[in-house]
Structure 1
């Protein structure tokens, strides 16, 4: 592989792929071609990453694989669904997506069997084949009617049978038995042999060999499986040269088969080679979280590490500049929102902006220092007071006036019941109140609750409800259970889930498990912001959710045995037990 091709694939990738996606969306409808082009860009980058990190066991590699899959599955979904039903394609690496409605003017398309196979192999590697199974099913129906017996078409059916359990027999039970899967695979191989023109070319076709590998998986014949995978892999060695594309370093078909052998049959990798990055074969296999919800499933070595003394958890240093003009404007906007002007009451919606401006200043300054500074303490105090004041106004009757204290001065606001006091703003305000620890800031938030002015239909709704129940002394367990279940919804929607497992330790009253869950939560936060250009986001410096729970745990009298810039020592020390 030429060094130039690898360097070109890696250089400024996050900006390049984002610009490409935006350019495509502005040029017109994004169809199968555009989504597949994005998938190939991700694959080239992933192949380039494998040169310096052969096992690909990094958050960046996992995100790139997942987004290559979503782009490829998007190409398949477009062919499957348009123009019949609505569907949505989203790439969280880019925070970019597109929705399609029935009957819209975009052209109707199909996908080739080879593109279908590459997309399905990606779905296997990222463990998303079942998630996109319906799209693969309907896209396959658009293959040419006389294509039966073609190796690529028959392999597509074989994958559907082995991976999804779709044998093509609508009257069969589900899931199919191994015997029923084997019958489907044998029928596919028979159709291929029937098309043989006497040269046996179709029998040596890589797709036929892959179908034989699926048959070996189904019958448990590990030796035959290994032979087939090695046969598929051999031609790739000849592809390496100065002009080769980095994605050829990741041969999707044999790689997906190796992954199926390991994950479904428990077999060892069929051959030791850098063409098979271990993370892609195992599905990013790891030791798992240190602890589960409510202190369950604690890993013994993690317990021993925490018991041995304070654990140090590092944070990547990525200081962000705070431009004097921006700082001055944020402070000006805050002053305008909290400074009385004559006898007229102020508009409370400005409090949401003031809280956010001070939150941003706090977080940017957090990137510049491992501990909280005096300026940050002021940012926190003003932000918490603004949030509390905002929700105090939601408790009043319409047209009423509400007097609050901000920065030591009385200020009067009109009652407010608008969207600027929605569930997300409440969530931030509660975190700020828990970090600062002032009861007068927390009280109006507990009285108001997250849905005071409107429904919460976000992926964080259950977590906010659980937090509210906990703070007001109601049993939070039912809402906490739902919050734990909805973490996957947040991930699917492209968000970092709330620290529901960490919160569950507070609900359970388990101090030791809280330390373990704290490390898991910090690790998840760090990994999330290690992807793409997220490291330059001020939110990368710390999580208000995690910091709020840690400060609250301190006020419960718990010791925090984790030392990290994500948990500024000055803030934890100020969190005195009740």
Structure 2
């Protein structure tokens, strides 16, 4: 059966989608400057995200896009923020963070204050927030807040919304009540409770009938959020993720991505360490897979190019009476990274100017760690851009693990064993402790390059990746690296496709296409070149993210170079 969506106000749809990135940023920062953000502000923010999500669904009803996924996640977080405020403030600490506008707020206990009854959530607000949490897979993360907020609701006559609150509490949070829904106020339970009970009982026919009634009942409102009825979507999502039931009714009211949790046929080695899908293997075996790069060109103006080049030159030009300072080289590498990114965004392959950025950046990074390795009180001799220079020995926190990883990527891309050597000798923590959530990834990289067993650190990095899934930042290509050290060429290519898709999807959200690293992932490109150069593997992914000129150069590395790098 097909159910068409109702018509909504076209002007409100246009307003919801217009310049949302900047508008939501202004909204959350305006609220934060106006004083304490309470249930009201978090609900208004959630409403804005929902309106935008509804507007997105008018052009893509399945909502299967990175943008929609990011918007749903923050809608759920903002709505849960309202519930958390009602549950915890002012007696307990908690925090709310929204990835899309990169905004967060922490709350500390305010001793001596009592809860303000104005900041409770209503039963309907509780239900809407939980429905968003179901769809975004955030119920377990916020379960305690939902339970506390329910207990703090004032005693009032039982309403359909309150019945549904208790039905959800029984289903998710009370083991003793997991097999039974609350007693309804009428002889015939409302459709939502019937659907919830059907999920509990595994009764597919009863669920389909109740869901159809819910969708037919309406109305759903004239704003864009009305195109996304939260209760039916959440129940359909719960049924799909519990029993694998796909909705029996055909309707855009139930976007496929929201029901399935953005499930895709998908490449490949997403499940950490699991066998790749046979169809994905066949896909790569049939020939190179093309992956587009939607990021727009981000050229630098002549003045910016000249400024970055001038500052780089200043870092490697001795001044009369003053010693050179390796700290200046860290800024020079950042300048070359910006030039590299801008030039990469303008071309699908490596230009001569981009190659020059890579060679110079590789030498700059290596020079920093030659200086860090030098004995205190001595000087290190380095070669940069054809110049032989001497720098006083120095170890600075700016030579820390993040800088080491960037320098290493440059060296792996260029394939310069001379530049790679000091990085391997120094390691990521020669100048500062690694407090990065993925410190084990850098340890594994270092172990691999210095000939130690990388598997223990790699396994730790994979566990870290599982714990930090969906945190709003782009993790390093841990799975890709794990396939490299396992020596599995096919799975390496599958993981390469996954890693590049994750990079592309991350930079497809909000205004991240303008980020410096959008056009290229140095980490991924470095591992791809390293696999070509040291193992002779073919790369079966064709993309502007992997400039063919660089991969071809890596594949032409003479045998002696491969053996030398493998022995480092």
**TM-score (structure 2 length as normaliser):** 0.91
* Local SS of the residue matching 1:57: coil
Equivalent runs, 1:562-573 vs 2, <5 Å: 562-573=541-552
Which residue, out of 181, 184, 209, partners 2:178? 181
Which residue, out of 102, 107, 111, partners 1:100? 107
Equivalent runs, 1:494-533 vs 2, <5 Å: 494-533=472-511
Residues 241-283 of structure 1 show CA distances to partners (whole Å, capped at 9, x for unaligned) of xxx1100000001111111112112223042211111111111
Contact 2:228 2:253 in 1 (8 A): yes
Task: Determine the structure 2 residue equivalent to 1:160.
Answer: 169
Which residue, out of 117, 121, 139, partners 1:111? 121
CA distance in 2, matches of 1:71, 1:318: 30
How far does residue 36 in structure 1 lie from its aligned partner after superposition?
1.4
Equivalent runs, 1:239-250 vs 2, <5 Å: 239=220, 244-250=222-228
Does 1:132 find its partner at 2:111?
A: no
CA distance in 1, matches of 2:39, 2:93: 15
Greater Cα shift, 356-365 or 316-325 = 316-325
CA distance in 2, matches of 1:42, 1:124: 16
Distance 1:315 1:542, change over 3 A: same
Task: Determine the structure 2 residue equivalent to 1:224.
Answer: 206
How far does residue 429 in structure 1 lie from its aligned partner after superposition?
0.8
Which residue, out of 381, 386, 390, partners 2:368? 390
Distance 1:67 1:475, change over 3 A: same
How far does residue 221 in structure 1 lie from its aligned partner after superposition?
2.7
Does 1:310 find its partner at 2:319?
A: no
Greater Cα shift, 422-431 or 456-465 = 456-465
Does 1:49 find its partner at 2:46?
A: no
How far does residue 447 in structure 1 lie from its aligned partner after superposition?
1.5
Equivalent runs, 1:197-212 vs 2, <5 Å: 208-212=190-194
Residues 522-555 of structure 1 show CA distances to partners (whole Å, capped at 9, x for unaligned) of 1111111111111222322111111000110111
Contact 1:80 1:139 in 2 (8 A): yes
Task: Determine the structure 2 residue equivalent to 1:173.
Answer: none
Task: Determine the structure 1 residue equivalent to 2:21.
Answer: 14
Equivalent runs, 1:91-490 vs 2, <5 Å: 91-103=98-110, 109-144=119-154, 146-147=155-156, 149-162=158-171, 164=172, 166-167=173-174, 176=175, 180-183=177-180, 185=181, 188-189=182-183, 192-193=184-185, 208-236=190-218, 238-239=219-220, 244-291=222-269, 296-490=274-468
Greater Cα shift, 342-351 or 510-519 = 342-351
CA distance in 2, matches of 1:370, 1:470: 31
Task: Determine the structure 2 residue equivalent to 1:558.
Answer: 537
Distance 1:267 1:429, change over 3 A: same
CA distance in 1, matches of 2:392, 2:33: 43
CA distance in 2, matches of 1:128, 1:430: 37
Distance 1:532 1:352, change over 3 A: same
* Local SS of the residue matching 2:97: strand
Query: Which residues of structure 1 form unaligned runs of 5+?
Result: 168-175, 194-199
* Local SS of the residue matching 1:131: helix
Contact 2:83 2:126 in 1 (8 A): yes
Contact 2:272 2:462 in 1 (8 A): no
* Local SS of the residue matching 2:451: coil
CA distance in 1, matches of 2:325, 2:457: 34
How far does residue 464 in structure 1 lie from its aligned partner after superposition?
0.9
How far does residue 292 in structure 1 lie from its aligned partner after superposition?
5.7
CA distance in 2, matches of 1:413, 1:100: 48
Give the length in aligned residue pairs: 546
CA distance in 2, matches of 1:416, 1:380: 24
How far does residue 444 in structure 1 lie from its aligned partner after superposition?
1.4
Task: Determine the structure 2 residue equivalent to 1:170.
Answer: none
Distance 1:411 1:489, change over 3 A: farther
Greater Cα shift, 301-310 or 504-513 = 301-310
Distance 1:21 1:395, change over 3 A: same
Distance 1:295 1:138, change over 3 A: closer
How far does residue 368 in structure 1 lie from its aligned partner after superposition?
0.4
Residues 97-144 of structure 1 show CA distances to partners (whole Å, capped at 9, x for unaligned) of 122222289985322221111110001011111121122122222211
How far does residue 366 in structure 1 lie from its aligned partner after superposition?
0.6
Distance 1:287 1:416, change over 3 A: same
Task: Determine the structure 2 residue equivalent to 1:171.
Answer: none
* Local SS of the residue matching 2:539: coil
Contact 2:49 2:75 in 1 (8 A): yes
CA distance in 2, matches of 1:573, 1:540: 22
Contact 2:97 2:104 in 1 (8 A): yes
Task: Determine the structure 2 residue equivalent to 1:197.
Answer: none
**TM-score (structure 1 length as normaliser):** 0.90
* Local SS of the residue matching 1:538: coil
Greater Cα shift, 270-279 or 285-294 = 285-294
CA distance in 2, matches of 1:337, 1:112: 61
Does 1:77 find its partner at 2:84?
A: yes
How far does residue 341 in structure 1 lie from its aligned partner after superposition?
1.4
Distance 1:492 1:286, change over 3 A: closer
CA distance in 1, matches of 2:271, 2:59: 36
* Local SS of the residue matching 1:540: coil
Contact 1:31 1:106 in 2 (8 A): no
How far does residue 222 in structure 1 lie from its aligned partner after superposition?
2.7
Contact 1:340 1:412 in 2 (8 A): no
CA distance in 1, matches of 2:477, 2:157: 50
CA distance in 2, matches of 1:19, 1:260: 34
* Local SS of the residue matching 1:88: strand
CA distance in 2, matches of 1:415, 1:116: 61
